[in-house]
Structure 1
């Protein structure tokens, strides 16, 4: 083995490969980034911050009496907001809100929704479709894979009219119209 250069020796001083501990590495973050094909680590950090704020808000709400009208109103507002965002599955109070994690926010990203709607086979393929401009939500063409899809918007995810993939899907289903006007 060759002798290490100065900068290589300096790097090796910072990491001890013999006593490396898996707990030190952020394996959970890496797993979430890979599973949901999150390309930007800043997105993960934002989701993590939001989860922290939700947890902090829940902790403050729990310090109030359960019969307090302010606590009831704020709890209801928080639960409704998280439910409308699609982060929690039911409106059952603070118990459902306590289980919110980064993965819940990642599941509401546009590529994951595309895979769930069977518009793409994999999340990676869905990211590619989005970046190429094949997908629209409502009337707006979306090119950012980090786009958060709420429950209401989920029904409005479609192909762009001029998309070649849309044409192929329509041809396969026998619904393609040669004389359709392109916007």
Structure 2
């Protein structure tokens, strides 16, 4: 890849923290194994980090905004500080331009950071994360989990945007060892 990005946005569930479906309980937040080290490496380079996350549990009536904010606060306490948090409460069928794979969240986070979308990278665990990056004109890295579909992994591997873990993702982005 080219020079390191000027900002890195991470998906939340399944990427920064172990995915607990529709988690509204901060006590259930568990960072993934290499999250702290990867974030430290990016921050050490003086590059801001943020979070972009779909939270369709709100649209489904399984969570409320306060629960999402409480979980986000716990993540910030464990892995932060994050320069920007953006999340979308809508469901897949709501037609929201903010919800990944639409570019709205990435564009908004980039603007809040004062960085052009082309100078941003998005790291996530599913095709919606890669799609949001692509739609915004940002770079993408896929870090698969057991929930990632095989065709998503294959497509990322073909594009050279596949990493085994978050540390590998930030290395791929130019934040070397």
Same fold (TM over 0.5): no
Q: TM-score range by the shorter chain?
A: under 0.3
- Larger gyration radius, structure 1 or structure 2: 1
TM-score by length of 2: 0.24
Bigger strand fraction: 2
Bigger helix fraction: 1
